Structure 1
Amino acid sequence: MAGPIQYEDAFVVGLKLRDFPAHKYWEDGRLTPVCDLRAGESCLHDLKRAPTVLLDQPYHTLAFYLPRAALDAIADEANAPRIRDLSYQPGAGVNDVAISGLGGLLRPALSHPDQANRLFVDHVLLALGVHVAQTYGGMRPMLRPARGGLTPWQERRAREFLLANIKNGVALKQVARECGLSVGYFSHAFRRTLGVAPHKWLTEQRVELSKEKLRDDGLSLSDVAAECGFSDQSHLTRIFRQAVGVTPGVWRRALKR
């Protein structure tokens, strides 16, 4: 039996990555109908209801943690009433293509955390939280004026802060805080102003910086990768090829010619 989970006003969304036949699950000490869970299905768990599962066979699950504070922040950002509870059938799997798709986007970052773009991960997690709030919490935004872009000082500060952290990366909420905005508003305003999401813009700047560094023959490709915020040479090569169409080595040889 799974060990006890501390009582908390929070939810866990579990995305099944392999089949789990004859799933036995309890909430508040009551056994729910036994069912087969398929890879790609999702289950919701309320940590206020003492969720417990019998783990009597191999399993593989990606778990998303959603505390009450996160749901409240999502509702406030959408100018919607706060969510009281999530609607779901305890123990049952649901074929939610949005959750499975977002989970699929995160799996490479979990497999190679040293290469993960923190801004990208934040975007995916925010998207999942909004989806859960709308689909299972009934959140419906109230009408309000359309958002604009960043003000000139906010755009300047966002650029400066992102570039100052180009080597080590930065969380989306930190950049938003520098601009005095919520995460959701900042993300929308940044894209509206610069045409791309913050994580995409930062990746583009890393590629441009690597082009400059490649002019220095005294730097190895590993050195260039470290200077530009890539985890290693292979990470640099993969992103550079995607953006430029050739590898950094080919680019450097072309410069010499």
Structure 2
Amino acid sequence: MYNGAYGDRLGHSFRLNNPPVLYSRTRRGICLAVTELRIDRGGYGMTSPMGREDAYLVCLNLRKQSTHELWCDGHSVCSTSYEGGTTYILDLRRDPIAYIGDPLHSLYFYMPRSAIVEASEELGSNNIASLAFDPGECFLDAIIGSIGQTLLPIFDKATSVNQALVDHLLQGMCAYMASTYSGSSARPDIVKGTLAPWQQRLVTQMMRERIFEGISINELAEACGLSAGALARGFKKSTGMSPHQWLLSRRVDLALELMADPDMSLAEIAFNAGFSDQSHFSRVFTQKMGVAPGAWRKSQANTRRVEAA
């Protein structure tokens, strides 16, 4: 039976088994939950559909992601980066899926819309039906961050005493979301200076299709009906990186997948991932991952040996 996007059900979307999860219930018996997800390797790829339902996931990002790509209703709505400590909200009615390029550590707070409505009524407001937010927009919220950090050590210490604290925090989180982020969910206006959603989707699609040989700014700009300068400025404001940086980041993601093959040399991986040579690959990889490709590959091999032992 479908039990909502938390615990094992949410873990399956990320191909993770038995992720840690904490539960609570509102006064009306509506389930609230928070799931901890960790992916310690880069180049993970796309998540699986979580299943449509009338609920939200409030995601607290505990680790930086250089690329955050989100699709809702089968359309790209966001392609940017985010810092550790930021939050974004997913509307599960819109069938969200995401691309994960870097190692991930996040808390996902599961909140049915009926729980938001219940919390708003208890706060004295009877006209709140949903949360208002821009899809994929990451923001800093000290309250959400503090609740998440307080819950983190409890995942490994599930006791009846701690359950009282979990109830307090999850129900308080629900009330906080209802009072702070409630409103009508209207389609957001395009932020001045950014690319239109269709332009951003087109540019990233064209660069993915030309990941090996590369593509010029002029070609991207012409496809979007913009000047080269406007395209470059708009893409950076939309995603937090230049088109060239975005393309290099995708090449690193591809290299991470190729490095799973122990028979491929780093020179072969560099060539097959679209880098000009192994030296260029090493510089870009180290800048993104914080460690040289050879050291990263060795650490992954050691991890696999430990897990197999």
State the TM-score, normalized to the length of structure 1: 0.51
User: Which amino acid counterpart does residue 29 of structure 1 have in structure 2?
Assistant: G
Unaligned runs of 5+ in 1: 140-257
Q: Does 1:136 align with 2:136?
A: no
**Offset of 1:116 from its aligned partner?**
5.5
The aligned counterpart of 2:51 is 6
Classify the secondary structure of the residue corresponding to 1:48: helix
The aligned counterpart of 2:229 is none
Q: Does 1:101 align with 2:146?
A: yes
Moved over 3 A (4+): none
Contact kept, 8 Å, 1:109 with 1:115, in 2: the verdict is no
**Offset of 1:82 from its aligned partner?**
4.0
Classify the secondary structure of the residue corresponding to 2:47: coil
Contact kept, 8 Å, 2:60 with 2:145, in 1: the verdict is yes
User: Which amino acid counterpart does residue 53 of structure 1 have in structure 2?
Assistant: A
Contact kept, 8 Å, 2:70 with 2:99, in 1: the verdict is yes
Contact kept, 8 Å, 1:37 with 1:92, in 2: the verdict is no
Aligned-residue CA RMSD (Å): 1.8
Q: 120, 124, 127: which one pairs with 2:172?
A: 127
State the TM-score, normalized to the length of structure 2: 0.43
Tell me which protein shows more strand as a share of its residues: 2
TM alignment of 1:20-169, pairs within 5 A? 20-114=65-159, 117-138=162-183
Q: 1:12 to 1:116 in 2, by over 3 A?
A: farther
Write the deviation string for residues 93-137 of structure 1: whole angstroms up to 9, x where unpaired.
110111001111111111322486111111111111111111110
Contact kept, 8 Å, 1:71 with 1:82, in 2: the verdict is no
Point out the structure with max Rg over C-alpha.
Answer: 1
In the alignment of these two chains, the number of paired residues is: 139
Write the deviation string for residues 73-92 of structure 1: whole angstroms up to 9, x where unpaired.
21221221142221111112
Q: Bigger CA drift: 115-124 or 22-31?
A: 115-124
TM alignment of 1:182-197, pairs within 5 A? none
Identity among equivalent pairs (%): 32
User: Which amino acid counterpart does residue 107 of structure 1 have in structure 2?
Assistant: L
CA distance in 2, matches of 1:2, 1:61: 14
Q: 1:116 to 1:103 in 2, by over 3 A?
A: farther
Classify the secondary structure of the residue corresponding to 1:87: coil
Contact kept, 8 Å, 2:59 with 2:89, in 1: the verdict is yes
Classify the secondary structure of the residue corresponding to 1:57: coil
User: Which amino acid counterpart does residue 148 of structure 2 have in structure 1?
Assistant: G
Write the deviation string for residues 146-201 of structure 1: whole angstroms up to 9, x where unpaired.
xxxxxxxxxxxxxxxxxxxxxxxxxxxxxxxxxxxxxxxxxxxxxxxxxxxxxxxx
Unaligned runs of 5+ in 2: 1-45, 185-309
